[in-house]
Amino acid sequence: MLIVQKYGGSSVANTDRIKHVASRVAQCRARGDRVVVVVSAMSGVTDNLIKLAREIMPLPNEREMDMLLATGEQTTIALTAIALHSLGIPAVSLTGAQAGIVTDGVHTKARIQNITPRKIHELLNQGQVVIVAGFQGQTREGQVTTLGRGGSDLTAIALAAAIKADLCQICTDVDGVYTADPRLVPDAKKLEEISYDEMLELASLGAKVMQSRSVEFAKKFGVVFEVRSSLNDHPGTIVKEETKNMEAVVVRGVSLDKNQAKVTLVGVPDKPGVAARIFKAIGDAGVNVDMIVQNISHGSGAPATDLSFTVDKPDLPRAQKTLDALKPDIGFGRILATEKIGKLSIVGVGMKSHTGVAGRMFDTLAREGVNIDMISTSEIKISVVVDLGKAEQAMRAVHAAFLG
Ligand code: ASP
Ligand code: MG
């Protein structure tokens, strides 16, 4: 079998862990498999490099950031190759560029344009284990680029597609994808399988198992992969295209995102073009808006309405500044903002064919005495915003109702 195995930062955090990775790769080889290993930087290294640059100036040049950040993975590939050599196994490390990964020129979040895996095949044919630096590539002009935080996942998935691997394993510090974060919900269970779309919803909802972009890529190119532990041999979670029998389960997982803040604009004039102006300004300020709720008009005189929406917590100051500037112009009343919210979501492709799911969720929250602040839904997801103080309790109750 031809296997791509990716090891994340915590799996290569120190030389003991790297030696452990080497022994796992050695086991695959002993079974007769050919292995391409993709590694991240040792945990904390990328963050630390960013910190160093920002000690010098707050907004460093992005080309130089890529040059800097790519060194993290370059350290790990060499150490992993050395660890394999110490076991008597032939291995060669390759940078993203050497592995044939060509990207566009958008520094710090480049997109892979194509992969020419000639060198990889050549080395595999010589019986070498090939170790590729995750997270990095090169433009056609030879500039070093990186693929966005968490981008080693993308390297692994894209390589698996390019070399038509039989198996792609994302090895990490958890046993797989769970029905909820086991640190918050002790009864959470590991899933045997999950569809790409469910995985994407859970990732974007704050269950940060994997980089969303890499799951999107896997979906687009039909790369089936497994999320599993690098520390034990338990089977992990298979991520793949949705199958008919997946719909039998109404809710696949529950997630809680504590990283959003809520903004309410009181007394917004209710006339055409106002929402457009507000969200255009917010968007231009680079603030990502998630949920939006507008109430019906109230008051006598000119119709006015309240408008609430959520933004990523770190974006809140920027959103407030933008709105302050807009306030006299548009003529709304107060701007209320709070960071004390949690966004609780249930996700499952089974929602497409089951009724009464929202009612059951809201009923569970009511019985816990949890007030619902905002609601949004998609075909396979229902999200509610609740008070942060009650969010974890609400999560456990909803998990018990659907998955207990
Ligand atoms: N080292 C990079 C990061 O920390 C890429 C990765 O770990 O996947 O974001
Ligand atoms: Mg990582």
Check pocket membership of 152 for ligand 1, CB cut-off 6 A: yes
Check pocket membership of 72 for ligand 1, CB cut-off 6 A: yes
Amino acid symbol at 288: N
Q: Residue 206's pLDDT is what?
A: 58
How crowded is residue 378: how many other Cβ atoms within 10 Å of its Cβ? 12
Q: Residue 204's pLDDT is what?
A: 67
Backbone torsions φ then ψ of 278, nearest 5 degrees: -65, -50
- Ligand nearest to C-alpha 73: 1
Q: Is 230 left (phi over 0), alpha (psi -120 to 50) or beta?
A: alpha
Atom nearest to 135 CA in ligand 1: 5
Helix then strand count (H, E) for the chain reads 11, 20
Q: Which domains does the chain have, with CATH numbers?
A: 2-173 (3.40.1160.10)
Q: Rounded CA gap, 196 and 241, in Å?
A: 6
Distance of CA 62 from the midpoint of ligand 2 (Å): 20
CB 134 within 8 A of CB 140: no
- pTM value? 0.89
Q: Rounded CA gap, 325 and 282, in Å?
A: 11
Q: Residue 87's pLDDT is what?
A: 98
pLDDT by 10s per residue, the chain, length 404? 999 999 999 999 999 999 999 999 999 999 999 999 999 999 999 999 999 999 999 999 999 999 999 999 999 999 999 999 999 999 999 999 999 999 999 999 999 999 999 999 999 999 999 999 999 999 999 999 999 999 999 999 999 999 999 999 999 988 999 999 988 999 999 999 999 999 999 876 656 678 889 999 999 999 999 999 999 999 999 999 999 889 999 999 999 999 999 999 999 999 899 999 999 999 999 999 999 998 887 767 788 999 999 999 999 999 999 999 999 999 898 999 999 999 999 999 999 999 999 999 999 999 999 999 999 999 999 999 999 999 999 999 999 999 99
Distance of CA 100 from the midpoint of ligand 1 (Å): 19
By alpha-carbon position, which residue is closest to atom 9 of ligand 1? 149
Strands 2-7 and 167-172 turn out to be parallel
Q: Residue 303's pLDDT is what?
A: 87
Distance of CA 217 from the midpoint of ligand 1 (Å): 17
Strands 2-7 and 34-39 turn out to be parallel
Q: Rounded CA gap, 210 and 262, in Å?
A: 26
To test the pocket of ligand 1, the residue of 10, 38, 46 to mutate (highest count of ligand atoms within 8 Å of its CB) is 46
Q: Residue 165's pLDDT is what?
A: 97
